[in-house]
Chains A and B, each alone.
Chain A
Amino acid sequence: MDDIWQPIWLSIRLATVTTAFLLVLGAPLAWWLARSPRRWKEAVAAIVAMPLVLPPTVLGFYLLLALGPDGPAQYLNGHGLAFTFEGLVIGSIIYSLPFVVQPIRNAFEAFGEKPLEAAATLGAGPWDRFWHVALPLARPGILTGAVLGFAHTIGEFGVVLMIGGDIPGETRVLSVAIYEYVETLQWRKAHLLAGGMVAFAFIVVLAVLLLNRRPVRQGASA
């Protein structure tokens, strides 16, 4: 039974590391998308959102080329990042980015300019305003983004299979393991993991719904 825990832990590790990177990258990116006056920011937004519509195999294919021994990743360590945990992290960040950026951007846009103006007149500089006004006000959106990013990384399959393959302990994550068990007719193990994923998905969706039901509407009109 030990071998069914290995992919579970690997998936959780991958999702945790990925989510951490996603928040660090996604929050400033969402801030820029929400506030920049530049016209071409929507082109950037479209690129960020592309994993939503692209088949995972297409994304995986290009990532494989990029991370492979002949792609740009070879300059990092000489042999690229394909079929490694680090490669999976990079792929997952790109694949799950829209799920994190979109809710955070919405949250930043929802509270508008006014609290930031108040903060500016009270002496808060741009960084101070982002850190002490924007982030706290966007908290529900950030939590939603984190939960969605985490869950989406746990559930990904196509991209992982393309760039990570099926190396136990390194790239054999949950979804790949289920596929493997089904292929080798180990129904009981497949059932355990698949059933667990169903329960997990329910909890995640419920959590997001509850997060968004929190009264965001505050300080309304007199």
Chain B
Amino acid sequence: MTGQIDAAFEGALGDFRLDTAFTAAMTGVTALFGPSGSGKTTVLRCIAGLTRMQGRLSVNGRDWQSAEAFTPAHQRPVGYVFQDANLFPQLTVTGNLNFAAKRSGKRSNGDNPAIDFDETIDLLGLAPLMQRMPAALSGGERQRVAVGRALLSRPQVLLMDEPLSGLDQAAKADILPYLERLTDTLAIPVLYVSHDIGEVARLADHMVLLNSGRAIASGTIGDMLERLDLGPLVEPFEESVLATAEITGHDPKYRLTRLICCGQPLTIPEADLAIGETVRLRIRARDVALATKRPEGISIRNILEGHIAEISAAPGAAHAETLVDINGARLRARITLEALAELELTVGAPVFALVKSVTFDGRSIAQKQSG
């Protein structure tokens, strides 16, 4: 079908078996998410044509792989960002970028996006690096060059294989805004492999969840994060939902930023965002507490009124996962089974969701709207 990636792969690599089928939209960022060893990277390599398995693949209505045909990697209009950047060590940054730019016309069918060289340099902040050799770049810089190089090949789809996983926290924080800007600015669809739910929640619009070589669920990032049944596949304590909020003001005295979220006020530590801007907030289940009455004399600033929409408890666990409906938006809260029983919480019960302001940091605020 036009406008989507339609993939099905089957095969074995050593002990690992892949047997997966999914479709992904040719818009925005689609995360291929799952625990290590779930086959994310293998799927990405199959899409790029770097690994060959049985199956079929069509992108935007064109067959790249079928029972009869296999388009070799160099004829597929993809950009691939490797986990370790994989720059050409003998070429400068300019040389690496030119390698891509020179060949960008070769595999176009006239429908590849136009990518401006200078604009890409600008978007990724590469200007000061141009004459350097890859060995003289930091991990984050190398990854930015790799993204630029992939873009300059004018791909119809950008494939990113855990581009941040080799980087330390500081380097990640440095590169994430570039990726955000890029995915917002460019009309190129991105398939983004990651096992870091924080990264995915911040960047992705859609999510395909993989486990043990199978695609087990897919949907918009917001819906996927709200699904309680998928919990065990996300790192424990990292389960979260996304909420869209609008900046309403800043409080310089207490260094706070105030927002409206689900029609109710929310306060977070001061963030460098313009009033009126809409942002995506990631709220983790472990940071949300529940109360049956509006609490008073409490340090928690954010008290959102709603009702319980869903409750689930994994067998043998000491806690329950609850989904709280707040004017149509949903928050997850993780509470102990004891609290669940004492507060007599059932589906439909009115509750107040409490969220500590300080649990929001730069990593949990994205300058894009929830998909």
Contacts and interface: CB of A to CB of B under 8 A. Distances in A.
Interface in A107-135: 114-115, 117-126, 128-129, 132-133
B107 interface: yes
A118 B89 contact: no
Given A122-B100, A123-B74, A221 B84 contact: yes
Interface string B325-362: 00000000000000000000000000000000000000
Contacts of A125: 72, 74-75
A123 B82 contact: no
A203 to B, nearest CB: 27
B89 A137 contact: yes
A121 B79 contact: yes
Contact of B90 (A114, A137, A220): A137
Given A137-B89, A219-B89, A123 B153 contact: yes
Interface footprint category on A: 20 to 34
Interface stretch (B133-141, B181-189, B234-242, B264-272): B133-141
A117 B166 contact: no
Interface of A is mostly: helix
Interface residues of B, number: 39
A72 interface: no
A42 to B, nearest CB: 23
Nearest to A139: B90
Contacts of B139: 222
B178 interface: no
B181 to A, nearest CB: 22
A126 B74 CA distance: 8
B80 interface: yes
Given A121-B79, A218-B133, A114 B86 contact: yes
Nearest to A117: B50
Contacts of A129: 74
Interface string B33-64: 00000000000000011100000000000000
A17 B135 CA distance: 38
A222 B142 contact: yes
Contacts of B49: 120
A118 B48 CA distance: 11
Given A137-B89, A218-B90, A221-B84, A123 B133 contact: no
27 contacts: A115-B86, A117-B73, A117-B82, A118-B82, A118-B86, A120-B50, A120-B73, A121-B78, A121-B150, A122-B153, A123-B74, A123-B153, A124-B99, A124-B103, A125-B72, A125-B74, A125-B75, A126-B74, A128-B74, A128-B103, A137-B90, A218-B89, A218-B90, A219-B135, A220-B135, A221-B84, A222-B139
Interface of B: 48-50, 72-80, 82, 84-90, 99-100, 103-104, 106-107, 133-135, 138-139, 142, 149-150, 153, 159, 166-167, 171
